[in-house]
Structure 1
């Protein structure tokens, strides 16, 4: 993907088993109304984003990030690459001006030297390794080489025959650059920066790649892709591409260089030829990606070793050229309003898209559908929740699935009971989250509207004289299965 984008994504640190994985965000600046750097930093703090990637080394942005503790990746823009790759002194001046002048107040942890150089700037590829070495030499001279890593992000398209992953190899025509670069990364303890876009893999596969496989949706074992050589099972495109990179490096005898994903995401809007660029799909992909990283699932080749990843991107960039989807990769609009509310239960408050300290009761992803249905029936029956908004045609009917409807009922009951932790259990199929599950005109109890006032949904009355209904948390009362006139769909998709 072309790189003129903003920079906020996570700071790069070597990804090994004993280090905590992180999720960051890229910050692009092609906005007609780009927020001031202090506003950007305020949003980062409110969202508890601790890792960002900049596509340049904007001085105002670096000053605004000072003393925040946020880990920052700065970049040598592609247009400056030729000059730096041909002059050690030019590289030294760049490091002095854009790194040394700001460190350590601004917590710079890595430098991206260009981006997608091999696929977008082939004429500059011949000086890429020199540029890396010159930048690193300047860090050595400043005694910062141990604190700040140097690498260059590549498009995953440089990997050929990427499935099965065990057969993957790098485009051999790039070996004159790749081999010395991998030597550099290995000798300096750095990592391979890779941009992975399952959206494009899916679109370009002409139907070969299922949408659920691209979106990280749970798949039954018989739907997973199997590497016939290793017998490893792959349930998503992201893991398959990461492992393909590891196998491609191993093919060249490099087995100890970690992978950090510098860009990944999904567009929330597209034109008529981009039907899968939707808010629901973008929410599903990014929510699942965040949970995948923080759950430390790792990949089939490296289980338990999570791949730290930068989400592309912080803001929608309305000035980006190209298709409509190019303008709509952001998590937020320029005014700081979320494009959608991420479902990141289990990832803490990071990117919860909610700064109000509100809590909500949500159905757990992956919970047994029958257990959810029984809990939903109880909440709308003995639990005395007003479930009319879930009826067809009403505000919270869509999306019409059991996890969405159960979340509405659970959260309404939870708020009516004073947000007592015991009121958000439902036999283990619910949990408390800081993520506001409101969507469209379906506002949940306690949700704040964009004008900063509480939403217009009020908790239903629970003033019952029946002791077995008003204080039940489903552990002491059990379930009562009711027949309801609500079109519940019992399916295995556990994301809104």
Structure 2
């Protein structure tokens, strides 16, 4: 990933205008590694940190089962390689019946992301399948009576925007959420800025912004839901060294660096919890 991504999410519901109540801070739980703790231990870690929202890049049944009867909400992802199959409404219905319905309501699946950064994929043929897949997954949720609790979206990198600076959010009918934002703690010699110090500064400032309920230049009073990238360093990721060093934690659950989450975890004061209120709520 590049240093910051933004999720362009059009939340499809029965009347295309209702948003599910969500917290405004979450973390990406990637699994491209061979040494990560089991999902049960990951749930314990998230609970200790009082993080109540996470995003995974598939529909891993071990994770969905382990997170049952917890207070952690999960956004799952449909892999790019099966988007063409979901152009068939019956295949989309079968996908929801197989990968979503069996885990409800015990597991709090609150979102389905259709594909991942399709518009900037090397395989440009995927683009033609994206919108039909989104529509068919939404219609499948409607058919099963699940659409009021699960939103449908697709994440895209900042490269899809004609202008990405100054950063802002808000379009008619579209809610913007930051699905990935983070900084690597280590990189190759030519990856300027990839350092432990910069990663700590960046992510501490991100957490401070969320706690202060800061919005964007265009909508300063609108809380912006953000997902930090990432929970763990992932040793099997391809690419430069930075790709394997975005995690707040090592696979043994030790901190790569401390952004202050441990202090929130130890606090019993609800006002200091990072589990904030809906990103669609304006402050006064």
Please indicate the TM-score interval, normalised by the length of the shorter structure.
Answer: 0.7 to 0.9
Match of 2:168 in 1: 242
Match of 1:171 in 2: none
What is the distance in 1 between the residues matched to 2:79 and 2:217?
34
What is the distance in 2 between the residues matched to 1:128 and 1:77?
11
Query: Are the aligned partners of 1:21 and 1:293 in contact in 2 as well (CA < 8 Å)?
Result: no
What is the distance in 1 between the residues matched to 2:234 and 2:46?
17
Aligned-pair distance for 1:51?
0.2
- When residues 286 and 70 of structure 1 are mapped into structure 2, their CA distance, relative to the original with a 3 A threshold, is same
TM-score by length of 2: 0.84
What is the distance in 1 between the residues matched to 2:104 and 2:197?
40
TM-score by length of 1: 0.49
- When residues 132 and 27 of structure 1 are mapped into structure 2, their CA distance, relative to the original with a 3 A threshold, is same
Match of 2:90 in 1: 89
Question: Where does the alignment leave 5 or more consecutive residues of structure 1 unmatched?
Answer: 3-11, 164-239, 250-254, 344-350, 360-432, 435-496
What is the distance in 2 between the residues matched to 1:295 and 1:354?
14
Query: Are the aligned partners of 1:320 and 1:327 in contact in 2 as well (CA < 8 Å)?
Result: yes
Match of 2:221 in 1: 304
What is the distance in 2 between the residues matched to 1:317 and 1:122?
27
What is the distance in 2 between the residues matched to 1:352 and 1:13?
36
Match of 1:123 in 2: 125
What is the distance in 2 between the residues matched to 1:353 and 1:96?
41
What is the distance in 2 between the residues matched to 1:38 and 1:282?
27
Aligned-pair distance for 1:358?
8.2
After TM superposition, list the pairs within 5 Å mapping 1:325-474 onto structure 2: 325-343=242-260, 351-352=261-262, 357=266
1:63 correspondence with 2:65: yes
Q: Which runs of 4+ in 1 moved over 2 A?
A: 12-16, 240-243, 351-355
Give the length in aligned residue pairs: 257
DSSP 3-state at the match of 2:59: coil
Q: 1:273 aligns with which of 190, 194, 199?
A: 190
Aligned-pair distance for 1:13?
11
Match of 1:469 in 2: none
Instruction: State the Cα RMSD in Å.
Output: 2.6
Match of 1:474 in 2: none
What is the distance in 2 between the residues matched to 1:78 and 1:21?
27
DSSP 3-state at the match of 2:103: coil
Query: Are the aligned partners of 1:109 and 1:147 in contact in 2 as well (CA < 8 Å)?
Result: yes
Q: 2:80 aligns with which of 69, 78, 81?
A: 78
Greater gyration radius: 1
What is the distance in 1 between the residues matched to 2:12 and 2:44?
24
Query: Are the aligned partners of 1:268 and 1:278 in contact in 2 as well (CA < 8 Å)?
Result: yes
Match of 1:289 in 2: 206
Which has the higher relative contact order, 1 or 2, with Cα contacts under 8 A spaced 6 or more apart? 2
Query: Are the aligned partners of 2:167 and 2:216 in contact in 1 as well (CA < 8 Å)?
Result: no
What is the distance in 1 between the residues matched to 2:58 and 2:145?
22
- When residues 21 and 302 of structure 1 are mapped into structure 2, their CA distance, relative to the original with a 3 A threshold, is farther
Match of 1:48 in 2: 50
- When residues 54 and 301 of structure 1 are mapped into structure 2, their CA distance, relative to the original with a 3 A threshold, is same
Match of 2:153 in 1: 151
Query: Are the aligned partners of 1:316 and 1:328 in contact in 2 as well (CA < 8 Å)?
Result: yes
Question: Where does the alignment leave 5 or more consecutive residues of structure 2 unmatched?
Answer: 3-10, 274-284
Aligned-pair distance for 1:319?
1.0
What is the distance in 1 between the residues matched to 2:245 and 2:179?
18
Aligned-pair distance for 1:310?
0.5
